[in-house]
A and B are shown apart, each in its own frame.
Chain A
Amino acid sequence: QKEVEQNSGPLSVPEGAIASLNCTYSDRVSQSFFWYRQYSGKSPELIMSIYSNGDKEDGRFTAQLNKASQYVSLLIRDSQPSDSATYLCAVGGAGGTSYGKLTFGQGTILTVHP
């Protein structure tokens, strides 16, 4: 069973639409949650971090966390072609053998078409 699982892509949305990316995790005591964007051939760059239940907004990006459901999502409003990339969900371990580790999902490829 995968520890961090993202919805399988690729996801294609028209320019101006809302893109919704989802992620579930198995370690119930996880405390740190991150979304990274990775353009082809480049290294990942952080776009959102969230630590508490609820929503966190930053510009066109909104991260949503539900620890009871072990679910974290990323919404991208007014999607632009420049948002086309692979989005990686990462979960920080809280203790035991997970301490000190971020576990990444396999990534979801997003394509925004004009």
Chain B
Amino acid sequence: DGGITQSPKYLFRKEGQNVTLSCEQNLNHDAMYWYRQDPGQGLRLIYYSQIVNDFQKGDIAEGYSVSREKKESFPLTVTSAQKNPTAFYLCASSIIYRGIYQPQHFGDGTRLSIL
């Protein structure tokens, strides 16, 4: 079955440590996204990529980094510069048809906590 796989499901970060969240999709979607969700809040965009080897900052990119070396993969690194990383992280993908955005499909998410 096609879908988006995020791993790990739970992740703990120590002070001063960088951690990387994995996101893989086999939907052949061009665009991929990373969101952060805090309790009781909506989704905030961290980074997005519409094509391999290209990505753009979202609304809250500080303290995060991404890469898009393959169409299927869009890993997110939470760096030590992100002082409040505890949140639910969601990866999504979509196609873009004639400039009109099609629905985004989400992975199951990664819950990140600090030790």
What residues make up the interface of A, taking CB atoms closer than 8 Å to B? 31-32, 34, 42-46, 49, 51, 88, 90, 92-94, 100-107
Query: A31 contacts which of B43, B100, B104, B105 (Cβ < 8 Å)?
Result: B100
Query: A107 contacts which of B31, B42, B101 (Cβ < 8 Å)?
Result: B42
Q: Tell yes or no: B103 within 8 A of A by CB.
A: yes
**B42 pairs with A88, CB closer than 8 A:** yes
What residues make up the interface of B, taking CB atoms closer than 8 Å to A? 31, 33, 35, 41-45, 48, 50, 56, 58, 90, 96, 99-109
**A49 pairs with B103, CB closer than 8 A:** yes
Of all chain B residues, the one with the shortest Cβ separation from A93 is: B101
A106-B41 contact in complex given A43-B109, A100-B50, C-beta closer than 8 Å: yes
**Complex CA distance for A43 and B43, rounded to whole angstroms:** 11
**Complex CA distance for A93 and B41, rounded to whole angstroms:** 20
Interface core residue of A43, A90, A101, A107 (most chain B CB under 10 Å): A43
Interface core residue of A31, A90, A102, A106 (most chain B CB under 10 Å): A102
Interface core residue of A51, A101, A106 (most chain B CB under 10 Å): A101
